[in-house]
Amino acid sequence: MDNSFIQTEKEKSRIKNGQIFHVSTWEASISCSPTSDSKYGYSRRYTFPLGKLPFLALQQVIRNMDIQEGIRLALTSRKMRLNVKYSRLSVGSPIVRIHDEFSNVEIKEDVFLFNGFKIYKKANKSKEDKYIKRSELEPWLNPTLSTLQNTQNILVQIQNTFKCDKFVLVIDLRCIKTTIKDVLSISDFQNFETLNLYKGKLDEEDMNCLMENAKADQDLHIYAEVPENYYHKNMFKFYDIVYEDARFVKIEHLLTIKDNYIIDLGKNNLTLSDINTFLKYWVNSECDLFKMMTIKTTEETGEENEANLDILFDGLVVLKVPFSFDISSIIIISIFSAAKSVESRKTPILCFEWYEDEISLFAHSIEERPKWIRSNNPMNEERLEEDEPYEPEFEILKVLEKKKDLEETMRIEENNERKLEIEKELEELDLQLLEKGVRMEQGRHVFGSV
């Protein structure tokens, strides 16, 4: 006789107080080898309660469960919830969606826990056993509390029972019964990693609530309309920022950016002169501003031509570096500059890329090229890591910066002898650039070829 634990077919059984009935797909069983009584060679299977297993054996069974099975098992009794807790099942980063009666918590493997009485269409498309309805969640709910408060209860139970990463909070602005202030006044909802708001409009009171309650190390993604003349001193204080409607963003706001990671500005009213002013601020800043920033192009900023480039890079030292994707030979122009305060900045290599729909800015370290720069490029591929560091470009930019300073000195110098000295120095710098492979095209310094 061979003792083993096997997974049966999806039977929807439930384990509670030592009895097996509908909810879990797991059973503990004994499989028997065929005997003289088993004429056709069938194995006998005897089931018994999971609670009878030694803890280490039970722990192995739980660790091999699907996420939804672990949740349903935890709902059967306090004892089983503790067994699940000590088995350390991971549910990844929960997504908490606030939308009145559609409110739910989603965890990895597309498992949904529905607190409201209505179910999203997305959940209906997943396997039926992967969404857990309100009726099943009753042990974690309080019938006297609101949908919002019970959604909080579900999140807390998940966090206390399973191994969780930081959660994402999503607020649907079509809510009628719930306001942003209602949500952010609940302490358990304040510790999100990312806050997403979408489908609707925000008024000034909503925006103030967001600006004053979200923390600097959190992500704020707003996919909704924002009052066009809105301003708050904290609007660029967050780690990762998305403003799909960025028409309220003015150049003076951009000049407050400091120590961000990613900034994504959608529809906006920024001009080429505004972006030029911001690029100068970026180059001259004594600290890193961001790792990546995208600015959606407008009718004025959308066309990459020499006249627009002249406006964008007026007063800046830049180096044009073309590259292509091997399959299609699509050429993207990267324009590099170097931060003035190299010693105080970890990412002094500044890169500008102009796409059809957006302008992309990146900040890199000198020592190592990134593993990727843009995943949504024209080939929808990631750019692979390159072997060489940015040292060649950086050295060229230093020469170009020195050349620019000398040319400005020459322009105001009145001493003829000194002018001759400067001319010789400029000739030496031009020779260095030539030796490094730099050439002139349409009045711009270009390094490398496609």
Q: Helices in 104-241 by DSSP H: which ranges?
A: 121-125, 147-161, 180-184, 204-213
3-31 tens-digit pLDDT: 333 333 333 343 333 333 333 444 444 34
Are both 60 and 92 inside the same structural domain? no
Top-confidence range, 186-195, 335-344, 376-385 = 186-195
Domain holding 82, by residue range, is: 49-87
When pLDDT is cut at 50, 70 and 90, the band that residue 252 belongs to is very high
- In this structure, is residue 39 part of a structural domain? no
- Three-state DSSP class for 24? strand
Helix (H), strand (E) at residue 305: none
- In this structure, is residue 4 part of a structural domain? no
Stronger pLDDT, 295 or 385, i.e. the higher one: 295
pTM of the complete model: 0.82
Are both 235 and 367 inside the same structural domain? yes
- In this structure, is residue 392 part of a structural domain? no
Are both 305 and 443 inside the same structural domain? no
Residue 250 has pLDDT above 80, yes or no: yes
Are both 354 and 417 inside the same structural domain? no
Cβ atoms of 112 and 105 closer than 8 Å: yes
376-390 tens-digit pLDDT: 544 444 544 454 688
Are both 77 and 150 inside the same structural domain? no
Are both 427 and 305 inside the same structural domain? no
- In this structure, is residue 390 part of a structural domain? no
Cβ atoms of 14 and 22 closer than 8 Å: yes
**pLDDT for the residue 121:** 60
- In this structure, is residue 220 part of a structural domain? yes
Are both 63 and 194 inside the same structural domain? no
C-alpha dist (Å) from residue 359 to 263, 297, 302, 312, 362: 12, 6, 8, 11, 10
When pLDDT is cut at 50, 70 and 90, the band that residue 371 belongs to is low
- In this structure, is residue 43 part of a structural domain? no
Are both 78 and 219 inside the same structural domain? no
Are both 343 and 442 inside the same structural domain? no
Are both 56 and 92 inside the same structural domain? no
Domain boundary among 344, 371, 398: 371
197-246 tens-digit pLDDT: 999 999 999 999 999 999 999 999 999 999 999 999 999 999 999 999 99
Are both 56 and 111 inside the same structural domain? no
| Separation CA 373–CA 350 (nearest Å) | 12
> Cα 385 from chain centroid?
20
- In this structure, is residue 385 part of a structural domain? no
Question: Percent of the chain at pLDDT above 70?
Answer: 79
- In this structure, is residue 118 part of a structural domain? yes
Lookup: tokens for 216: 């600097």
| Separation CA 332–CA 374 (nearest Å) | 11
Stronger pLDDT, 40 or 110, i.e. the higher one: 110
Are both 352 and 440 inside the same structural domain? no
Domain boundary among 71, 87, 103: 87
Q: Which of 352, 313, 358 is nearest to 336 (CA)?
A: 352
Domain boundary among 36, 65, 87: 87
CB atoms within 10 A of CB 269: 14
158-180 as b/e: b if 16+ CB within 10 A: beebbebeebbbbbbbebeebbb
Domains contained in the chain, number: 3
